[in-house]
Amino acid sequence: MKRWLLSRRLLIQVAIIGKKGYAMDLTTKYMGLSLKNPLIASPSPLSHNLKHIKELANSGVAAIVIHSLFEEQLFEEEHNRASIIESYSDSFAESLSYFPEYSLAATGPTPYLNMIKAARAETDIPIIASLNGSTMGNWTLFSKEMEDSGASAIELNLYSPIMDLDITGNEIEQLHLDIFTSVKKAVSIPVAVKLSPMYTSFVNVAKKFDSLGADGIVILNRYIYPDIDLDTLEVTSTVHLSDKNEIRLPLALISSLRNYVKADIAATTGVESVDEVIKYLLVGANVVMTTSAILKKGLHYVNQIISDLNNWLESRGCGDLNEIRGTLSHSQHDDHNYYRSDYVAALQKANRNPYGWKN
């Protein structure tokens, strides 16, 4: 609480000083990777082909996390491999080297690996591969092939909608930690973990990943909740693009975690403009990721955000990002009372209806 107030005062002082015309240094480090600015393109349809990846790189983002390779795809690959082996087994029983190359290339992860290779060759920014799954299995070892294809780092997405009433929170957490350990052991490049908010104690789980050597923690994975189509009476799963109101949960979690983990933190979800980028940096994010804003506004918008960030820093006389990063993060580990009093005060204020709601 004290630090929160002190930091705010510091920022106000900085705002008053202001140094016009000062060249801003937006460079930053993420998991040891040197970045020209803190804006990273998160996995999206924009990384499904090389042309778009090159356009993204030219737009000014400092790194690209390409779309995920899913555990299910790798399982399918293994399954197809097995069927092909079986169908060829009469004539080619003893050797896999007789396999028609094109069959495996078409079904398996080869196009993904080729994309990593091409993206590395054709761009000059880090290319981060994304591996996405939720069960223990050999698919995690695929991270090594991503590394061998030139990925600068791996982002492990642990998207796990658990509907089994007999699985406990501890079991889910241990499963996720084990999956992470398996990937981490397989590669020598940095590994980040993209987490969902669905853990009983998010900050505790994040700290455990940190203890296991996570190089980055990506906060938060955005859940895709099903809806119901009342015309067809079918359950539907549609991806909606985010808006700025969604930053509050990741903002609070990053703020709580920043001073207690060694891992770098990547903020993701809800960036609509430079305002959200600044807020995420203020609570301690090392980098900020974006997808929806680019999909809604176009690639030119990246440049706009970066230029707005530069101007904002300049207007407050800050020479580089370290002058603001984490200045509004919480430092009280057990600040339970602060959060409670903030919550109660917010409800009490809302009950007085300063917003003009219809009563």
Ligand X SMILES: Cc1cc2nc3c(=O)[nH]c(=O)nc-3n(C[C@H](O)[C@H](O)[C@H](O)COP(=O)(O)O)c2cc1C
Report the interface residues with ligand X, using CB under 6 A. Answer: 42-45, 67-68, 130, 132, 157, 194, 222, 239, 241-242, 268-271, 290-292
**Which CB atom, from 210 or from 276, has the smaller least distance to ligand X?**
276
Indicate the residue among 280 and 316 with the shorter CB distance to ligand X.
280
The least CB distance from residue 31 to ligand X, in Å, is: 16
Contact 116, 151 (CB under 8 A): yes
| Among candidate residues 136, 246, 249, 261, the one with its CA nearest the CA of residue 198 | 249
Closest CA to 269 of 241, 297, 296: 241
In residues, how long is the chain? 359
Distance in Å, CB of 25 to ligand X, minimum: 25
Among residues 41 and 282, whose Cβ is nearest to ligand X? 41
- Please give the torsion angle defined by the CA atoms of residues 198, 202, 207 and 210, in that order, rounded to the nearest 10 degrees: 40
Residues 283/248, Cβ–Cβ less than 8 Å: no
| Shortest spacing between CB 301 and ligand X, in angstroms | 12
Cβ–Cβ < 8 Å for 140, 182? yes
The CB-of-93 to ligand X minimum distance in angstroms stands at 38
CB of 344 to ligand X, least distance (A): 30
Nearer to ligand X, 68 or 327 (CB): 68
Q: Is the peptide bond before 253 cis (omega within 30 degrees of 0)?
A: no
Cβ closest to ligand X, residue 43 vs residue 330: 43
The residue (of 245 and 348) whose beta carbon lies closer to ligand X is: 245
Residue placing its CB nearer to ligand X in the complex, 65 or 328? 65
For residue 301, what are its two tokens? Answer: 């918008």
Q: Which is nearer to ligand X, 309 or 318 (CB)?
A: 309
Minimum Å distance from CB 262 to ligand X? Answer: 23
As measured in angstroms, the least distance from the Cβ of 208 to ligand X is 21
Q: Smallest distance from the beta carbon of 124 to ligand X, in angstroms? A: 22
